[in-house]
A = this chain, B = another copy of it.
């Protein structure tokens, strides 16, 4: 019965992340988290302020995992790379990513925000337009990833609700949307669309 590795904030956060990825956010409780670490619930509070602190901490991990691409000569390449890195990080921890995209994170998200802003400035926007454009880019990325993650987690939510509704007034749209689900290529499609528009706006 040797001494076990001592608890630490890092160990708590890691365990919380694992628990959320395995069973979803709603399954995360301080008691279960403690059990996971072979410890009583209240011991966690020596390393963590409260449950919200834990949620913030795991949400940050996703942003921390975004490998910001080094800027190249072409802002457009960089934009695609940034968006791709964002998506990769989100898909690496899908259930946690829902949290990250939803929660209001200030500082942890800043590097990404700033990268997007720098990018749009380099593209030739004036400062105010650069802010607008970078936010548009991030809004698209976040909106798309939210949808993608939800449909991955719960793949036939739409199909189910449509089929159990009698009368089916709107099958056409749902069928069309279900038929097209190559997430990655769709992501690129919207991205290119947006970047085309940015380029156009700067040129014209």
Contact = CB atoms under 8 A, between A and B. Distances in A.
Given A160-B106, A177-B113, A180-B128, A139 B147 contact: yes
B189 A107 contact: no
Contacts of A70: none
Interface in A156-204: 157-162, 165, 170, 172-174, 176-177, 179-180, 186, 189-190, 193-194, 196-198, 200-201
Q: Is the interface of A mostly helix, strand, loop or mixed?
A: helix
Nearest to A113: B173
A111 B140 CA distance: 21
A139 B136 contact: no
A186 B130 CA distance: 11
A135 B200 contact: no
Interface of A: 98, 101-102, 104-107, 110-111, 113-114, 117, 127-133, 135-136, 138-144, 146-147, 150-151, 154, 157-162, 165, 170, 172-174, 176-177, 179-180, 186, 189-190, 193-194, 196-198, 200-201
10 contacts: A98-B102, A102-B102, A110-B170, A117-B173, A135-B190, A140-B143, A143-B143, A146-B146, A193-B197, A193-B198
